[in-house]
Every structure is written in structure tokens, then in C-alpha cells.
Amino acid sequence: MRLSGKNAIVTGASRGIGRAIAIRLAQEGANVVVNYAANADAAQEVAEIIRSLGVQTFVYKADVSKAKEVQAMVQAALDEFGAIHILVNNAGICPFEDFLNISEELWDRVIEVNLKGYFLCSQFVAKSMIERGIKGRIINISSISSLVGGSKQAHYCASKAGINLLTISMAIALGPYGITCNAILPGTIETDINKEDLSDPAKRAYMIKRVPLGRLGVPEDVAGAVVFLASDDANYITGSLLVIDGGMLINLQ
């Protein structure tokens, strides 16, 4: 086990990619805070799986875009575990909408959750790491949509591009404290976030055709890389943007 004795917070961990990351971190021996926004039952189910792996866990409801809720969540993790070694910023939304129809409210909400949320969680957790002399790990789930655009994803792509430079800037700012900050850029991973978009058989076939490895991703394809970036094998990696997309991004077809 590569993460025994480490304590982690995973945001948006009740389903999808966050769920797979939380379980995988636990399989490697980490204690995990399962953050969720709405579905308490799903979060509890993840916590039960994690508990059965012999590590500690608890669920915590917090909207990552609200500073007070994030601060309270970080404090709860410190009260329970004493320290936080790993933060995985994963909670995100992608309300597909044509560029010309994106309202000010929708724009603000996407930026608030996807970008401000990562900032808030990172700042509160980084301060706790510095106070305790912990050479921690911050891992941000960005997207290949931070490098390429989409007509219905202008707000989302802008938020993800922001995450990349947030990650790089944090890597520079927190490097002197021994804290590493890296981003993972998944391609199309089948989860609730894109269920409706991929329900169109033509769109689904088109997306698969673009992937040289011949399939869409599953959450577990992302989780292993999070373990790597959180482990000692990644001691000298910071400010990196790791694409995990089956080759979709490099394929111009």
C-alpha cells in the first residue's frame, strides 16, 4: 500500500470520477473525507466501501464554492484526522449550453464551482499543511476541455483552462513548502456529467471514433494516476498537466 497513514479530502466524491478516486486512495491505505453536495445516501455508500477497506472515513456535505463551508470541512478533517496530506479537487459541473444562450447566472455558477471551488479548497488545505510542516499533495481534476473548446462548453472550458494556470501558479507558490500541485486532464469518461450528451448514439460513436484506444474512459482510468501523483514516486513532479484520454487530444481525424 502506497498511502498508508495519509489523510485525504476528495471533493465531489459521492459518484463518478471522485468516487473512484476516493475508493482507490483508500485501497492504498489513505483515510478519506468523502465530500458531497447533495446525495447523502450515495456518499454514505462510498464511505461504507472505504470503511470496509480498513481505513477511516467520514462524509461531509459542503458546497465547494462557499468559503465558510469549505473552511468548516477542512476544520472537520483536521479535528478527525489531525492533518491533511492529500487534496483532490474534483467537484465540477458542466451544464452544456450554446455559447449564445449562456446566461450571466450560469456563467457565474460554472466559474464559482469549477474554478473558485478549487481555489478555496486549495488555499484552506495548503495553509493547514504549511502550519503543520506537511509536504502535501494537491491534485486538480482539470480536463482536455482546458486545451480544446466546445460550442456548448465555453463556460466549462474557460473554468478548466483557469484550473491549469491555478495549478501551475500554486505549484510555484507552494513549492518552497514542499507541497506539490498537479493537474489531471481526463478525456471523455462516462459518468453522469455527460450521460445526456452521450445518449445520442451518433454523438457517442463519434466520440469513440476519435479515441485511438477505441473506447471511452471509465473513472478508474483516472484514479490510478491520482494515486501515483499522491505517492512518493511523484516526489519531484509539480506543475504538470497529465492528459488521460486514450489519445483523443492528439488525434486530428
Residues forming contacts to ligand RM4 in the complex (CB under 6 A) are: 94, 143-145, 188, 193-194, 197
Half-sphere exposure of 111 (CA within 13 A, CB side): 11
According to the binding rule CB under 6 A, does residue 186 interact with ligand NAD?
yes
- Looking at beta carbons only, is 13 or 73 nearer to ligand RM4? 13
Q: Are 40 and 28 in contact (CB under 8 A)?
A: no
Long-range contacts of residues 40-47, Cβ cutoff 8 Å, at least 24 apart: 42/14, 42/15, 43/13, 43/14, 46/13, 46/14, 46/19, 46/22
Catalytic status, residue 36 = no
Which among ligand NAD, ligand RM4, none contacts residue 122 (Cβ within 5 to 8 A by kind)? none
Number of other residues whose CB lies within 10 A of the CB of residue 98: 9
Between CA 129 and CA 175 the distance in angstroms is: 12
Q: Is 191 in the site for ligand NAD (CB under 6 A)?
A: yes
- What CA–CA distance (Å, rounded) separates 236 from 234? 6
Could you confirm whether 66 is annotated as catalytic?
Answer: no
Q: CB 155 → ligand NAD: shortest distance, Å?
A: 12
CB of 219 to ligand RM4, least distance (A): 12
Contacts of 43 (CB under 8 A, 6+ apart): 13, 14, 34, 35, 36, 59, 61
Give me the catalytic one of 128, 143, 145, 146.
Answer: 143
Stretch 117-136 residues interacting with ligand NAD (CB under 6 A): 117
Which position has the grid cell 473506447? 215
- Residue 64 contact, options ligand RM4, ligand NAD, none, Cβ 5-8 Å cut-off depending on partner type: ligand NAD
Smallest separation, CB 156 to ligand NAD (Å): 7
Point out the residues that are catalytic.
Answer: 143, 156, 160
Residues at the contact surface with ligand NAD, assessed by CB under 6 A: 11-12, 14-18, 35, 37-38, 63-65, 90-94, 113, 117, 141, 143, 186, 188-189, 191-194
